[in-house]
Amino acid sequence: MRILITTSPGLGHILPTISFAHAARAAGHDVLYATGGYVGAVSDAGLQVVDASPGTNYMEIFSAAGATMGQQMQAARGDLRRTVEIALEMFAKVSEPTLETVARVADKWQPDVVLHTPLQAAGQLAAGKLGVPLVMLELAMGRSRGFDDMGDITYRELREYFERHGVAEAPRPAVKLSVTPPSVRGPERSDSEWLMRYVPYNGGAVMPEWLLDKPDRRRVLITLGTVVPHAGLGGIEPIVAAASKVDAEFVLALGDVDLTSLGELPGNVRAVDYLPLGALLSSCDAAIHHGGAGTTMTTVDAGIPQIVVPHGADQFVNADTVQASGIGQRAEVGDVDVEMIERLLDDEDWRTNALRMRDEVRAMPSPVDVVARLAGYIG
């Protein structure tokens, strides 16, 4: 089986596909990525990738549309369909630089199946052009059913590309791989929806020995992912200020950004360079983060409570799902005060529910199981 994978450019979209790709390779299948953005994350994982948008500055694209999208999503709070529509409209622009290259790669490589993340339209274009099955790998923790029944929005935004390649409509997924725990998704599930355990992959690193030590105090991760910090650290300042007054150790993981605007960090706040999120969270008692899909699900896999401060895209869906599931709370930046952080550390219901959901996720079919099922489906 030949599997072509294309994702949106951010690490939060690329990394959640790697465990599936590794499972496919281990089973003897051929895997090729055609995507843009952080393509080095794919090659660093030992996988082959074609850079579908060399030289593209995605930060410019996000900056141009991101502020408006965030405001629109705040206004649409609670309206999943409108939230999905806003995300699809913005990410059509994010997908655009990759479309022609992904279509060419698909033509040359002739995959048996195309796998894409929900907001990457290049997968729909490639599968539609070749007439092969489309598989969508869900990223959002919540019910993201809207992503596969609103293809008309993607088609409307990118019509000229679809028409150029003779694709009359954006195809719907033949299979949707859902990492959403059954208790969140509910009993209704179509035959095309396959459950798959979320297995965190956050890259490799040389691990500091202190990460293996049992901390003297409870440890909390603070992170805003790989995109948000580059827009400025104003949103992190009140969280760090509140953390300084809590009897706990805080690990500030913001990636390769300049932290000087934060001034001298409090004694109980440790800033770190890049460390794999799964390993870091395994030493933590709780997390405060932006609600990216990979961060949310890796925190779920760690079995710890979380406060989610969403900024855009599916982060709002993830934040609402965390709160509705009783494993933490959705919050605005200004809400994260001493009282909220202490509740994050002390709320026994949140902690019990987080452990229950971790066990539920780990009982789902593994990527190895799903790859075998997909091979049988493709025939």
Amino acid 150 reads M
How high is the pLDDT of residue 166?
95
Q: Is 333 helix (H, G, I), strand (E, B) or coil?
A: helix
C-alpha dist (Å) from residue 33 to 2, 14, 15, 316, 369: 11, 10, 12, 28, 21
Give the lowest-confidence range in 14-28, 169-183, 186-200: 186-200
Check pLDDT > 90 for residue 366. Answer: yes
Check pLDDT > 80 for residue 52. Answer: yes
Q: Which domains does the chain have, with CATH numbers?
A: 2-198+364-378 (3.40.50.2000), 209-362 (3.40.50.2000)
C-alpha dist (Å) from residue 177 to 87, 106, 153, 243, 315: 20, 21, 21, 38, 19
Q: What tens digit of pLDDT does each residue of 227-264 get?
A: 555 555 656 888 888 999 999 999 998 877 777 777 78
Q: What tens digit of pLDDT does each residue of 300-335 get?
A: 999 999 999 987 667 888 888 999 999 999 998 888
Q: Is 243 helix (H, G, I), strand (E, B) or coil?
A: helix
How high is the pLDDT of residue 324?
92
Give the CA-trace dihedral at 169, 175, 176, 178, to 10 degrees. Answer: 180
Measured CA to CA, the distance from residue 178 to residue 144 in angstroms comes to: 9
Q: Do 171 and 134 form a contact (C-beta atoms < 8 A)?
A: yes
Check pLDDT > 70 for residue 17. Answer: yes
Q: What tens digit of pLDDT does each residue of 106-160 get?
A: 999 999 999 999 889 999 999 999 999 999 998 877 655 455 556 678 888 899 9
Nearest to 280 by CA among 261, 248, 304, 313: 304
Q: Do 226 and 12 form a contact (C-beta atoms < 8 A)?
A: yes
* Beta strands per DSSP E along 141-218: 175-178, 193-195
Find all residues with CB under 8 Å of 176, minimum gap 6, and list them.
135, 136, 138, 148, 192, 193, 194
Confidence (pTM)? 0.87
Nearest to 302 by CA among 229, 231, 190, 221: 221
Measured CA to CA, the distance from residue 299 to residue 235 in angstroms comes to: 21
Q: What tens digit of pLDDT does each residue of 266-305 get?
A: 889 998 888 888 999 999 999 999 888 889 999 999 999 9
Burial class, 25, CB count within 10 angstroms (exposed 0-12 / middle 13-18 / buried 19+): middle
Q: How confident is the model at residue 188 (pLDDT cuts 50, 70, 90)?
A: low
Measured CA to CA, the distance from residue 352 to residue 275 in angstroms comes to: 27
How high is the pLDDT of residue 293?
84
Per the model's pLDDT, the better-predicted residue between 11 and 345 turns out to be: 345
How high is the pLDDT of residue 187?
65
Q: What tens digit of pLDDT does each residue of 23-51 get?
A: 999 999 999 999 999 999 999 999 999 99
Q: Do 86 and 65 form a contact (C-beta atoms < 8 A)?
A: no
Q: How confident is the model at residue 352 (pLDDT cuts 50, 70, 90)?
A: very high
Q: Which two tokens stand for residue 210?
A: 């202190």
